[in-house]
A and B are shown apart, each in its own frame.
Chain A
Amino acid sequence: MSSSINTIAVVFGREFRAYFSTPLAAIFLAVFLALSAGLSFFVTGFFERGQADLSAFFTWHPWLFMILMPAIGMRLWAEERRSGTIELLMTLPVRTWELVTGKFLAGWAFTAVALALTAPMWFTVNYLGSPDNGVIAASYIGSWLMAGAFLALATCMSALTKNQVIAFIVASMAGFLLMMAGFDLVLAGVRSWAPNVITEMVQSLSFLSHFSRLTNGVIEAPTVVFFCSMIVLCLWINVQLVDLKKAQ
């Protein structure tokens, strides 16, 4: 067990630093901060609402993550396969799940950095009024969990191809479908042929509905369990895909 933790920690360290060894990290952080602030100030009217809360800010997170998480996850496996380093990595005395976990955690930690950098928004509402900080904390946790689910999905897609661009597009599409799973856009397509049980199952996959529950300030067990099991399931599939596709 200690050797697994060691491996995960070493892989985590390399991947986390790798984000900062290219301009990718800076670009990502700049885009994320600019979009999340810009959208909440100018589109959802952060000031005009006249309310001391951050809902104008969190509303945009599912949409931002749908596009930005694939950008973080796309290189994790596709790049290993394209450059052939996967052969080096997988002939070291390590297990596939340790690699998958280490890489995922690195991306997730990077997301945490991005979220932490939005803290000035939080300070601002506290300066301007007296918001319910419990709701904001719950929203941050929910946002991070949802980002993890998007990221796990993206690393999964990254294991499918050597091409980062394809990984990015497929992951964004899959993310979009999961997000809209609670809406007629997706449900109508399912309802036409599937029994009610399946329609309801698909509906319950909706990232948007789960996230909106968290931003209302209620950390409900089912929602937390939903995002966590989404992550675990995607990582499990990821392990299978890596073992299956590594040599192709």
Chain B
Amino acid sequence: MHLIQTSALTKAFDGRTVVDHVDLGVSRGEVVGFLGPNGAGKSTTMKMIAGFLEPDEGTASVCGHDVRTDPLNAKRHLGYLPEGAPAYSDMIVGDFLEFVAKLRNVPSGERNGRLGEMAERINLTEVWDQKIENLSKGYKRRVGIAQTLLHDPDVLILDEPTDGLDPNQKHEMRALIRSIAEKKAIIVSTHILEEVEAVCSRAVIIADGKILADEAPDDLTASAAQDKAIRLTVSAPEGEDIVAKLTPVTGKADIEVLTRVNGSASLLVKPQGRATQPAQLASKLQRAKIDVEEIGFHKPSLEDVFRQITQSKPSE
């Protein structure tokens, strides 16, 4: 069973469809990365699952509880970090988390234990008695995360949890997400593609309210490498016409010089017609006395894939 399930989830604002029949299922142990250009409908989708916005059509369920007909139970199983991690700035960190724990009905016997665990696990001990308005962005975000984990929910929805953090804080946040991933179903939205590769088991690309791709990050980049281009680094002294030298070896192919530094040239070879294996090409090159430093299929970055998918979408 999927812990998060949306079916034909749809929302329009002022006649503009922002989320368009989104079907998505997330099981325990999965971390789904929600990717998409600004205004693609990521946040709106998350807000509907979290029960903040009501869907115009379709519905979503959390642990089997429909957000439309049984919102309280759906919310009980959910931890939600809204965009920007809002919190009452006039409150002290410990008081704020206690307030949330009480509204979450964490039994009073367990409450202090849970709060202590959060302080330790999310590194909040040193700011526990400070006002939230005086905290740095990193600490504020941590308070936001702590708030989502207080009741140990099965489902987590995090809207841009690393936005605005410095690289160390980002790294910490990702480690934290990875450490809890096993027991929960998690949706994380982000702008940062490397983050998807670092923490997510699935990447869902969404644009204009529709899901355009839903695959493991590796599969996504692999399937985008459709033309089987080979990336090649060979030694090539300055001034040598490396393309002319390679053409007889590679046969009919597009050869693109990417960089030339320190007597090496990086090239992208796109064979025309029959695909060539990197190993074959390597042995051919050796026979032609060309030093191969590195060779392999060109693996496009997730960024390339993202651009390809979100921009090449046929206009309707």
To the question of whether A and B form a pair in one complex, the answer is: yes
Q: Across the interface, do A21 and B90 meet the contact criterion of CB distance under 8 Å?
A: yes
Q: Does B140 contact A (CB under 8 A)?
A: no
Task: Number of B interface residues at 8 Å Cβ cutoff, please give it.
Answer: 27
A26 to B80, CA, bound (A): 35
Q: Does B147 contact A (CB under 8 A)?
A: yes
Report the minimum CB–CB distance from B9 to chain A (whole Å).
15
* Chain A residue contacts of B76, Cβ below 8 A: 93
Within 8 A of B (CB), among A84-142: 84-85, 87-88, 90-95
Q: Across the interface, do B82 and A87 meet the contact criterion of CB distance under 8 Å?
A: yes
A84 to B132, CA, bound (A): 14
A247 to B73, CA, bound (A): 21
* Chain A residue contacts of B53, Cβ below 8 A: 247
Report the minimum CB–CB distance from B189 to chain A (whole Å).
14
Q: Across the interface, do A6 and B102 meet the contact criterion of CB distance under 8 Å?
A: yes
Q: Which residue of B72, B87, B102, B147 is within 8 Å of A95 (Cβ)?
A: B72
Given contacts A21-B90, A21-B91, A87-B52, contact A92 B103 (CB under 8 A): yes
Q: Does A245 contact B (CB under 8 A)?
A: no
Q: Across the interface, do B90 and A22 meet the contact criterion of CB distance under 8 Å?
A: yes
Q: Does B29 contact A (CB under 8 A)?
A: no
Residue of B with least CB distance to A18: B90
Given contacts A10-B103, A91-B75, A92-B75, contact A83 B52 (CB under 8 A): no
* Chain B residue contacts of A94, Cβ below 8 A: 72, 103
Within 8 A of A (CB), among B78-98: 78, 80, 82-84, 86-91
Residue of A with least CB distance to B89: A83
* Chain B residue contacts of A84, Cβ below 8 A: 82-84, 86
Residue of A with least CB distance to B71: A93
Report the minimum CB–CB distance from A3 to chain B (whole Å).
7
Q: Across the interface, do B75 and A6 meet the contact criterion of CB distance under 8 Å?
A: no
A83 to B89, CA, bound (A): 9
Q: Across the interface, do B103 and A246 meet the contact criterion of CB distance under 8 Å?
A: no
B-facing mask of A61-101, CB < 8 A → 1, else 0? 00000000000000000000001110110111111000000
Residue of B with least CB distance to A85: B86
Report the minimum CB–CB distance from B233 to chain A (whole Å).
49
Best-buried of B47, B80, B88 by chain A (most CB within 10 Å): B88
Residue of B with least CB distance to A21: B90
Q: Does B212 contact A (CB under 8 A)?
A: no
Residue of B with least CB distance to A90: B52
A-facing mask of B49-66, CB < 8 A → 1, else 0? 011110000000000000
Given contacts A88-B86, A88-B147, A91-B80, contact A246 B91 (CB under 8 A): no
Chain B residues within 8 Å of A, Cβ to Cβ: 47, 50-53, 72-73, 75-76, 78, 80, 82-84, 86-91, 99-100, 102-105, 147
Please list 20 pairs of residues, one from A and one from B, whose beta carbons are closer than 8 Å in the complex, sorted by A's number: A3-B105, A10-B103, A21-B90, A83-B89, A85-B88, A87-B47, A87-B52, A88-B80, A88-B82, A88-B86, A90-B51, A91-B80, A91-B82, A92-B75, A92-B104, A93-B72, A93-B103, A94-B72, A94-B103, A247-B47
Shortest 6 CB-CB contacts between residues of A and residues of B: A84-B86, A87-B82, A93-B75, A10-B102, A91-B50, A85-B86
